[in-house]
Amino acid sequence: MRKEQHHKGWNEIKTNDSWAIFKIMGEFVMGFEKMSAIGPCVSIFGSARTKSDAKYYKMAINIAKKVSEAGYGIITGGGPGIMEAGNRGANLAGGTSVGLNIDLPFEQHDNPFIDEDKSLDFDYFFVRKVMFVKYSQGFVVMPGGFGTLDELFEAMTLIQTNKIGRFPIILVGSEFWTGLFDWIKDIMLSKGNISATDLDLIRIVDTEDEVVEIIDAFYKGKSLSPNF
């Protein structure tokens, strides 16, 4: 009897997994259709827990404004904190403000600064991450937690392995990022686990103007298109 129940449970899982494919396909189709119509964008990442009176929240607003004024849309994860600041800056500049929302048990809720027709909802992190990577001309990474690091290192890995086109990755806040990248250079690089060229597109900055300068310099004379 126990063996029969065990097999029944596995069969139910297999059936549910098979039907989940259609929901996953639906999220990809929705994302591709909406994002492909938006045009060149820059993604801003950072902690959902950053308060509106914090230094990096205010910097994210100013960065988003300047990037919008330079002709790019702004993509964020759609939630509070740094994500809200990014959408808020785009909104203030009259630019394109995109939110890729994810259903989470805590922290995540739509912020009010996303364009009404550019708020996308996802159940699957991996589908959402594809949208960030495919349609971003650059990543601006503010101080954050595990989710921020996840996006950062996924982009670095995909560029390193030539799975996507190269684009600038800009880390804002040397006080936050320098220790991590010193460790990467002193340990990972020195042990031969990465190559020096893997870090070529990583820039650590402390001002809003540097962000726009790096993005503009990278794309000078180049056509803008999705990364894969």
Which tens digit of pLDDT belongs to each residue from 146-178? Answer: 999 999 999 999 999 999 999 999 999 999 999
Q: What is the mean pLDDT of the chain?
A: 92
**N-terminal to C-terminal alpha carbon distance within the chain:** 51
**What does the DSSP 8-state code read for residue 226?**
-
Residue 217 C-beta-side C-alpha neighbours within 13 Å: 11
Residue 21 is predicted with a pLDDT of 93
Banded model confidence at residue 225, pLDDT cuts 50, 70, 90: confident
- Alpha-helix residue ranges (DSSP H) falling in the chain: 2-36, 55-69, 82-92, 125-135, 146-160, 174-183, 208-219
Range with the poorest average pLDDT among 12-21, 73-82, 184-193: 12-21
Exposure string for 205-221, b = 16+ CB within 10 A, e = fewer: beebeebbbbbeebbee
Most confident of 13-27, 77-91, 92-106: 77-91
13 pLDDT above the threshold of 90: no
Residue 17 pLDDT level (bands cut at 50, 70, 90): confident
Q: Between residues 16 and 39, which one has the greater pLDDT? A: 39
Percent of the chain with pLDDT over 90: 83
The Cα–Cα gap between 191 and 122 comes to 39
Q: What average pLDDT does the segment 15-19 reach? A: 80
pLDDT at site 106? 66
Question: Is 7 within 8 Å of 102 (Cβ atoms)?
Answer: no
Structural domains of the chain, with CATH = 2-219 (3.40.50.450)
pTM value is 0.91
pLDDT recorded at residue 95: 98
